[in-house]
Chain A
Amino acid sequence: MNPAEWDWQTGKKTVADAGKWRNIFAHVDALYVSPDGETLAAVVQTEDLLFSVCENGRIWESRFDKISCLRFSPDNRAVALVSKEGLWTVAASGNLWANTYEFVWNLHFSAAGKSVIVAAVYQGRYLAVSDGVPWSDGFFSLSHLTVSPDGRSVAAVVQTVPLAAGDLAAFQKGCYTAAVNGRPWDMNFLNVWEMRFSPDGRRLAAQVRSTLYDYTIAVDGQPWAVHFASVWRPRFHPADGSVTAPVRVAGLWTLARDGEIFWDKRFVQLWHHQYTPDGRHIAAIVAPKFGVWTVAVDGRPWALTFNELVTDLAISPDGNRVACVGKTDGRWHVAVDGKPWDGDYDMVWPPVFSPDSRHVAAKVEKNGRFTIVVDGRPLKFEFQKAWEPVFSPDSDKILVKGMDDVNGIYTRRVVALPELSV
């Protein structure tokens, strides 16, 4: 994904008319737009009652019995999970992988978009497939597919021991572990859950449960020496290799690093922590009190709180700003650095920072119409359907992708930010 190569000329471009598609095809499914906004795609049902993908009005040559998932990769390719005669594979821009599987699912991309990864069943065994290359060996089951930022490493929670129905003892001995690129860790656990790779993709940290009651973090197969009443998803420090995770101690949550309590504050809830890019600060979603939600930076909660939820935490590229989505009394809000934007919405999508960290934008919905809000001000355009905005690399413009009317004409707009302030 390199937005520098995208078209950043200000102005409006009509890309596709999905309304017309509906006249051509028996069925048009959900619409997807490429990150650069240049392509609109949908799964369509052709005359022969088979399925294909329509990109900007052009249909892939291949026809399929089923298409279960269509997404754009970060490098703007339409990728779908497709099935013919009961066998499944991946089609990227219409090109099929050579191998087929009994089933594929859980479509993942590397951050740059080059790699496409799925979970698959092959001859009754579960494995991951990266760019068409399956793991050499499969497992009894597989879940929590996780991809390193560069896409070169793929991990999953795998079951290495068969488990008969109702066999409590076998389960409690440990049937699950993590496998990285097909190689399982040495040690089995009762459970392994959501994992995360280190930024360089060489190490893997996971939540594990070693008895019914003992939770901890395992890094590259080695659990921390201490255990906790529960843990949430761990994260690697961007530089120094340490691992932090929310842990539950004496009924409350705090952050632990490499097995030791790291924050002195305790929370009713603490999760989804993130580092600033330099690794010097950590922001997290917390509940300082029961039913009271906010963001804490280095353990210090904002004064602003929400009574229903906080989600979609975002940290600016310079590490100085934090944004989130919050909900109070059924209304959705955006807050940046502890201050709420004026509007309240029916739904808010994750806020995004501009590369220079000065601006924040979010897609919002109100009364069934969508718009983009930048720094708290809604754009003048309203859409019947919109996609999430992208800032230009110089942070001066914003790419707005939306469908203006019910007819289904999709337009791509590049808007200069100074225009927004008037």
Chain B
Amino acid sequence: MTKPPAKARPHFADEGIEKGVQKLTGESITPVIRDILKTEGGARLKVYMETCAHCGLCSEACHHYLSNDRDPKYSPAGKVRQTIGEILRKKGAVSPGFIKTACEIAFTECNLCRRCVMYCPFGIDVAYLMLFVRRICHRLGVVPQYIQDTAHSHAATLNQMWVKEDEWIDTLHWQEDEAREEIPGLRIPLEKEGAEIFYSVIGPEPKFRAQLIYQAAVIMHVAGMNWTMPATPGWDNSDMCMYTGDFEMTARLKKAHFETAMRLKTKRIVMGECGHAFRSVHDVGNRFLGWKTEPLPVVHAIQFYYELFRDKKLTVKQKFDQPVTLHDPCNVVRGAGLHELARYIIHETCDRFIEMHPNREHNYCCNAGGGVINCGPPFTKKRVTSNSVKAEQLKAVKAKGANIIIAPCHNCHGGLEDIIKHYDLGMEIKFLGDIIYECIKKT
């Protein structure tokens, strides 16, 4: 049948994609795709693709669709149709130009947030299908430049940000020195074998947000935790390779992370406020290694802070007095069900809490997750314009009085910051750790 007239796809120049595609020929693509389909395309791929009734009930789940004038190209099933659907239909015989578009769709028009999975009557995992496309792109060498550079960093340094071994230790020393100015006697215990808690962070913390390590150290100290951080690689729990489709590298990263915690004989891993890293350690990376669950329990910061308040390890000196709202990050809400615990912490620490709508499992993605923000500046504009629905949601909650958004996830911070700037919303974003650090009794 005739299709509605297609709006031209806006063009975004990305060196990683352009140069990757230049190396491809029609002949070089097909064998690679067929090999992946043969070795990795199993029952899930087949059943999802054959079960989809093309009903379009997933469309409204997607912020890309809602924010792009309900353009069908951005609906979850529409993106599947344009990418893996076409690949299967043509049995892998697709052109370099097709791969270029498929790469853009899979990497920058889907955050793998799984909201649509909750809207599909069959529970078809569109995130899995889009990851399958990314896997194909990875194997073809067509990956956006910035996120591929990050994958290179992971491979070379076992962290996301090219942080060298000495820089990591030095940063911890520096944060310890700073924190000791405030709380003499505070330590960031490095390599403390047998500590109860192995605290792990993501690469951007030592690189750009070192104050978060400071705050975590203060919280650990005040709560009297027996904790440690490693002085070796393995400290970074983040994982962009999971999002570039380089699953072999994901396995290597998670092995280093878990084995570092095991080497230090720690009982559990507590991690900072990061969403994708939680997905990687709890749901994805462990599986690539044969661990059905995490070999050591992984506790997300939300759950950890919740425990500290529940067990009265922290007491609030003065509640945060401005009205706050909460952005539920997909990877710790749809990915871990931590939404009520986050609200518990907010009720403990804040005077006034205003819900944004939709919320909890149904919250809209920040459009930074799934590696989309990691695709870098070439896609920033597209990323913010493709999430006007988030801006509307924020505007509505701001109208109710909330100027502070709590977002317990690094990627969400990045994504929301850009949205706030672009739509001139004049709101401020905080981590739970920021609020807790500000409100607790420290002595």
Contact = CB atoms under 8 A, between A and B. Distances in A.
Chains A and B directly touch (beta carbon < 8 Å): yes
Interface of A: 26-27, 29-30, 66, 68-69, 102-103, 105-106, 119, 121, 126, 141-143, 159, 165-169, 171, 175-176, 190-191, 193, 209, 212-213, 215, 229-230, 248, 250-251, 268-269, 271, 287, 290-291, 293, 307-309, 311, 327, 330, 346-347, 349, 365
B192 interface: yes
Given A169-B19, A347-B267, A230 B248 contact: yes
SS class of chain A's interface: helix, strand, loop or mixed? strand
Contacts of B152: 168, 171
A30 B189 contact: yes
A168 B265 contact: no
A251 B39 contact: yes
Contacts of B155: 190-191, 209
Interface of B: 15-16, 19, 39, 138-139, 141, 145-146, 148-149, 152, 155-157, 162, 164-166, 169-170, 173, 185, 187, 189-192, 194, 231-233, 246, 248, 251-252, 255, 259, 262, 265, 267, 287, 289-293, 295-297
Given A103-B169, A165-B149, A168-B15, 15 more contacts: A103-B166, A119-B165, A121-B166, A126-B166, A166-B149, A167-B149, A209-B155, A212-B246, A213-B139, A215-B248, A229-B248, A290-B287, A291-B292, A347-B265, A347-B267
Contacts of B267: 346-347
Contacts of A268: 290
24 contacts: A26-B185, A27-B185, A27-B187, A30-B189, A69-B190, A103-B170, A105-B166, A119-B166, A126-B166, A143-B157, A166-B149, A168-B152, A175-B156, A191-B155, A212-B138, A230-B251, A268-B290, A271-B255, A291-B290, A291-B291, A307-B292, A308-B291, A309-B262, A327-B295
Contact of B141 (A29, A212, A346): A212
A276 B318 CA distance: 62
B376 to A, nearest CB: 8
Nearest to B157: A143
A46 to B, nearest CB: 14
B291 A66 contact: no
Contacts of B165: 105-106, 119, 142-143
A66 B146 CA distance: 37
Most buried by B among A29, A171, A271, A293: A171
Given A106-B165, A190-B155, A347 B194 contact: yes
Nearest to A307: B292
A176 B39 CA distance: 31
Ranked 3 nearest A-B pairs via Cβ: A291-B292, A269-B290, A309-B295
Contacts of A290: 287, 290, 292
A365 B166 contact: no
